[in-house]
Structure 1
Amino acid sequence: MVSERVGEYMAKKGISYYAFENSIGASRGSISKAVKDGKSIGSQVLENILAVYTDLNPTWLLTGQGNIFVDNEEILNNKQIETYRLRTDSYVENQQIPLYDIEAVAGLVPLFQDSKAQDPIDHISIPHLPKCDGAVYVTGDSMYPLLKSGDIVLYKEIHDVANEIFWGEMYLLGIDMSGEEYVTVKYIQKSENPGCVRLVSQNKHHQDKDVELSKIKALALVKASIRINAMN
């Protein structure tokens, strides 16, 4: 069944049900229930899956014929690209996305304050992505296996932190921690504590943490990620 193949794809990619449902705009538990109970998945949801996970072979998903990936050899030897789109996102045919070195620019805050004054180390060009303002390398394992240290995240800056958060989405954050900036990637959810938001990791070895909204000094919505899979 299609739902079984969706589960197989998620297992191969190491994507949790929560992250998968979140990325395609599906309701919480809808995909996990379909996979576990062997139920059908609607055509609109399948379209969303194929739009977000472009390495998934549509023929294999629908019929079970062929390879699970569009080009298995290219993915193993080159790069793996994931996109995290909102329903309101529009595609950009071609864009040159600047790749920055966070350490060289001394954090997200100075980068976002005046990105034109910062020299990118390179530019990334991937067709049919949502509009992105820049890209940086990820460090740490809090979002593993969805992201691992050394991956690249492409982002869209959020200028009104208090009013422009999409709850449950993945964000790149610069947080004031005792006068120093802490840069991380987390899901942002509502907190029961007034004036706070809850930062949630993909890696379950990392506990959720509430932080004061006023402590978030730089915020960007993660739109895509790139993982290099060089094989010897």
Structure 2
Amino acid sequence: MKLTENQRLKILRQHLNMTQSQFGMIVNLKQGSYADVERGKVNVSGDIKNALFKEFSINVNWLETGDGNMFLEDAVREKIKIDGIPMFNFPGSASNVEMYGDPTDVKIIGYLNIPGATKSSFALPVHGNSMYPTLENGSWCVLRPIEDRQDIQWGEIYYIEYGDYRVFKRLLASDNEDSVILWSDNQSETIGSRPKYAPKTIKTERIKKLCLLTDILKKPNY
């Protein structure tokens, strides 16, 4: 007999060795109200699933159907172990130019086996020459998402999404706390007496996505 969603929720709680009271706090329900969920008197709501996903990385599909692993990280870890980290089809620019294209047309085109990669790591190709010689046009960059801006390592290279731009830049601290400097390593190319790839200062609040560059796979010279 197939288990219900409510019964799988109980199995999950027992697997985590937590009491109903402790588990209820996680999903923002009092002990009595949570007990009704396990008994099947109340459906497992979307709010409960979201709370468990954020707290424990549970596989919501497992909770709803019983298919797959109990925890999403188990499946991702196995995927990384077998196939490597995903390589996506859209490039990051190494110049301050807009990268046009359908933002929903994102596909995995392959995998890379990189020692030390995290479950959230992924790879993108480089387009442009503003970060030469550190990043060459056509190279692949392994990236790790940064959730907390307090974790920024100033002077390191990041993949940054802001406005309609997707760029690779070295991130430098600005004199203003609400701004950051996007620095290009290629300072040898000039237009007249001015650098072709001049530093650009943007407001921190404009950054939609920030990923630390952890590895570079340079394009072969042939």
2:179 partner letter:
C
Taking the aligned partners of 1:187 and 1:230, their CA distance within structure 2 comes to 25
Kindly tell me: are residues 221 and 105 of structure 1, through their superposed partners in 2, closer, same or farther at Cα, counting changes over 3 Å?
farther
Residue matched to 2:153: 166
Structure 1: 5+ residue runs without aligned partners? 1-91, 112-117
**Which residue, out of 192, 204, 212, partners 2:175?**
192
CA drift at 1:228: 2.4
Residue by residue over 1:115-149, the C-alpha shift from the partner in whole angstroms, topping out at 9 and shown as x without a partner, is: xxx530111113x3443610011111110011111
Q: Under a length normalisation based on structure 2, what TM-score does the superposition of the two structures give?
A: 0.50
Kindly tell me: are residues 156 and 148 of structure 1, through their superposed partners in 2, closer, same or farther at Cα, counting changes over 3 Å?
same
Residue by residue over 1:149-208, the C-alpha shift from the partner in whole angstroms, topping out at 9 and shown as x without a partner, is: 111101001122x322111111000111xxxx2011111111012410111111113111
Taking the aligned partners of 1:105 and 1:226, their CA distance within structure 2 comes to 24
**Which residue, out of 205, 213, 217, partners 1:214?**
205
Contact 2:83 2:111 (8 Å CA) reproduced: no
Kindly tell me: are residues 129 and 217 of structure 1, through their superposed partners in 2, closer, same or farther at Cα, counting changes over 3 Å?
same
- 1:122 equivalenced with 2:105 (yes/no): no
Q: How does 1:7-86 map to 2 (within 5 A)?
A: none
Taking the aligned partners of 1:94 and 1:189, their CA distance within structure 2 comes to 37
Taking the aligned partners of 2:158 and 2:82, their CA distance within structure 1 comes to 23
**Which residue, out of 93, 96, 100, partners 2:84?**
96
User: Which ranges of 4 or more aligned residues in structure 1 deviate by more than 3 Å?
Assistant: 92-95, 103-107
Taking the aligned partners of 2:83 and 2:151, their CA distance within structure 1 comes to 24
Taking the aligned partners of 1:95 and 1:191, their CA distance within structure 2 comes to 40
Residue matched to 2:186: 203
Taking the aligned partners of 2:184 and 2:126, their CA distance within structure 1 comes to 14
Q: Under a length normalisation based on structure 1, what TM-score does the superposition of the two structures give?
A: 0.48
**Which residue, out of 154, 162, 187, partners 1:175?**
162
CA RMSD of aligned residues (A): 2.6
Kindly tell me: are residues 129 and 94 of structure 1, through their superposed partners in 2, closer, same or farther at Cα, counting changes over 3 Å?
farther
Q: Count residues with an aligned counterpart.
A: 126
Taking the aligned partners of 1:158 and 1:133, their CA distance within structure 2 comes to 10
The percent identity for this pair of structures is 26
Taking the aligned partners of 1:169 and 1:143, their CA distance within structure 2 comes to 12
Residue aligned with 1:228, SS: coil
- 1:133 equivalenced with 2:121 (yes/no): yes
Give the stretch that moved more between structures: 95-104 or 204-213: 95-104
Contact 2:136 2:219 (8 Å CA) reproduced: no
Structure 2: 5+ residue runs without aligned partners? 1-79, 92-99, 188-194
Residue matched to 1:157: 145
Q: Which has the larger radius of gyration?
A: 2
Taking the aligned partners of 2:142 and 2:181, their CA distance within structure 1 comes to 22
